Amino acid sequence: MTPSRRRLAAWVALGGALGTTARLIVDALVGTPVGTWDAGIAVANVTGAFFLGVIALYPFRRRHPHEVRAFAGTGVMGAYTTFSALNLAMVDGSPRPDAVLGIIVSIVGGCAAAWLGLRLGLAAHRAVEAPDTVPALIDPRDFEEEL
């Protein structure tokens, strides 16, 4: 049964509040260790990409998998990661090398982290679906209809 749009919106809003709080905590812990570069942006984007990869293919066996993905993926990770802040760093007067470093770390690191997260989600999926079988290579695109 597909949840109502209002219910999904409520889950996304709740997740967004938690994701924003987590992002503020990361910013407070990371600070700006490299010149004026805001390393918190890169840390949030890379770790968020990893967790979103896990969430995308994790075999949620709860009663409401759509709500769980809306809450965790769209809500928490959507608020936690920050593409707009990354773009702002390119045009707000930040030194160009610092801004470029942030973009490279966020995009390259984020792609690598998302790939690792997808692999972890696939491993969890295999463990739940066929716990006694030999692990085989699985293409994440095979699960697109479940997303």
79-133: pLDDT as tens digits: 999 888 777 877 777 777 877 888 899 899 999 999 999 999 888 877 877 666 6
Amino acid at the residue 84: S
Judge whether 89 and 34 are in contact, CB under 8 Å: no
Share of the chain above pLDDT 70, in %: 79
Judge whether 45 and 81 are in contact, CB under 8 Å: yes
d(CA 22, CA 45) in angstroms, rounded, equals 12
Position of tokens 């993926």?
Answer: 73
Position of tokens 């994701």?
Answer: 19
Helix, strand or coil for residue 34? strand
- Higher-pLDDT residue of 137, 42: 42
Instruction: Provide the residue ranges of all domains of the chain, joining segments of one domain with +.
Output: 5-141
